[in-house]
A = this chain, B = another copy of it.
Amino acid sequence: MSTPEAGRLSEILARSATRRDFLSRASALSLAIPAVGAALTSCAPNGEQATDSAAASKRAGGAAASGSQESRLPHNSDSRLDSAVLKQEHATPSSATHEATAHAAETKYHRYDPMLPPLPNGNRLQVHFHAREAPIRVSDDLVVAGWTFEGDIPGPIVHCRVGDTVDFTLTNESDIPHSMDFHAAQIDPKTAFRSVIKGQSVSYTFKPKWAGIFMYHCGTAPVLMHIGSGMYGAIVVSPREPLPAAKEFVLVQGEYYLGDTVNGARPFDFQKMLSTVPDFVTFNGRPNQYIKEPLRVKVGDRVRFWVGSVGPQHPCNFHVVGEQFDTVYLGAPPGTPIRGVQTFAVPAGGGMCFELLCDVPGEFPFVNHAFGHGQKGAIGILAVEG
């Protein structure tokens, strides 16, 4: 334990008391998927490897030190940014860390505001996010053990224009290494999307080239675990030439794969994520939240839904009951619109823009029309007032 960081890291591993249970259970079920096994195996319970890794991470400022040992390891990351971090592979089988469950019972529910925030003044946007483990109340009777950006699931909606400059900083306040991958950035992920450990920050600047809704997420290995535990959100990039005036909403579909309650919070469960059958499917992190508190517009309004699916696995088959989209942009708006659409699938890791004109009043449910998932919470109401 030569560094404080290493100490913290080995604590994390020590806290994973479920690791052995998990492995033996996986084995009994013939579910011992090698990638997972390997990842878990690399969570060496002795401190030495962790110490080395943490030291290497500090030494190199996160730049990868490629080597023969590394190349023998399975890299189940989509960023492979920081080989020091990769060496320890924080494949925690659940998100139930101390911070993610502390004071779970006392956390309050709040509706996630789906309105697209206004554009920034000027052409430069400063965004500073903090990676935090925190319990999140997603319904009256459910608190999840979240890994978050800015303490919420999803993280905050970012809004800018094509060609604006985004200065982004991530500061990690969590015991587990984290990183940030913006799908709107064209940049070397090995450097920009590298993992940082507790107390450290990473900064980079990007200029979005294309309009659309783009996912952001933690890209630290195993990526499935970090996205699946809540580290995701959306940046909406508006075209420089404005689209037709509309009420604009952001809906980010995310799946929840949950284990048994720990300290009042249900943790996200890595093995269950691999099974791909979610417990809940949510818009903006809360099952059915916009049934309780609908989106409200007026007759005559054009409504623009910026819809992303962060998965981690499934598409959002977006549909509005009682309405049809006059326009869906499969690529960057305003390019290649298609017209007259009832339902279109937004792939996991992707985003699309859906528009409709509210010419009659009423209550129009918007749903993931794959109802095996819709029924698990991906339903809300668009209330059109006369």
| Residues on A facing B (Cβ under 8 Å) | 30, 33-36, 64, 71-72, 74-80, 139-142, 181, 183-193, 209-212, 214-215, 219, 222-224, 227-228, 260, 273-277, 279-280, 287-288, 291-292, 311-315, 317, 319, 321-324, 328, 330-332, 335-345, 347-351, 359-365, 367, 369-377, 379, 381
Whole-angstrom CA separation of A75 from B321 in the bound complex: 15
B332 touches A341 (CB 8 A): yes
Residues of B within 8 A of A321 (CB): 78-79, 181, 189, 193, 219
> Out of B190, B277, B323, which one reaches A276, CB within 8 Å?
B277
Closest to A360 in B: B188
Whole-angstrom CA separation of A82 from B264 in the bound complex: 35
Closest to A210 in B: B340
Extra pairs beyond A186-B324, A335-B338 (9, CB < 8 Å): A35-B376, A64-B363, A75-B291, A185-B322, A188-B363, A189-B322, A210-B340, A214-B342, A274-B376
Residues of B within 8 A of A292 (CB): 71
A78 touches B142 (CB 8 A): no
> Out of B190, B212, B342, B350, which one reaches A317, CB within 8 Å?
B350
Residues of B within 8 A of A78 (CB): 321, 365, 367, 369, 371, 374, 379
B332 touches A347 (CB 8 A): no
> Out of B30, B76, B275, which one reaches A379, CB within 8 Å?
B76
Residues of B within 8 A of A375 (CB): 35-36, 76, 222-224, 274
B212 touches A340 (CB 8 A): yes
Whole-angstrom CA separation of A311 from B374 in the bound complex: 11
A317 touches B210 (CB 8 A): no
Whole-angstrom CA separation of A192 from B367 in the bound complex: 18
Residues of B within 8 A of A223 (CB): 371, 374-375
Closest 5 CB pairs of A and B: A349-B369, A188-B362, A210-B340, A332-B340, A331-B338
A372 touches B313 (CB 8 A): yes
A141 touches B332 (CB 8 A): no
A287 touches B186 (CB 8 A): no
A350 touches B343 (CB 8 A): yes
A33 touches B376 (CB 8 A): yes
Given known contacts A363-B188, A373-B313, A375-B222, A339 and B342 CB-to-CB distance under 8 angstroms: no
Whole-angstrom CA separation of A277 from B271 in the bound complex: 12
Whole-angstrom CA separation of A260 from B57 in the bound complex: 39
B374 touches A224 (CB 8 A): yes
Given known contacts A331-B340, A344-B350, A372-B273, A363 and B215 CB-to-CB distance under 8 angstroms: no
Closest to A181 in B: B321
B362 touches A189 (CB 8 A): yes
Whole-angstrom CA separation of A183 from B348 in the bound complex: 24
The 7 listed contacts between A and B (C-beta, < 8 Å) are A183-B319, A193-B322, A210-B324, A214-B342, A227-B371, A311-B317, A345-B347
A350 to chain B, nearest CB (A): 4
A212 touches B347 (CB 8 A): no
A322 touches B371 (CB 8 A): no
Whole-angstrom CA separation of A318 from B337 in the bound complex: 21
Given known contacts A76-B379, A287-B35, A340-B210, A372 and B188 CB-to-CB distance under 8 angstroms: no
Closest to A30 in B: B260
Whole-angstrom CA separation of A30 from B261 in the bound complex: 12
> Out of B190, B322, B373, which one reaches A186, CB within 8 Å?
B322
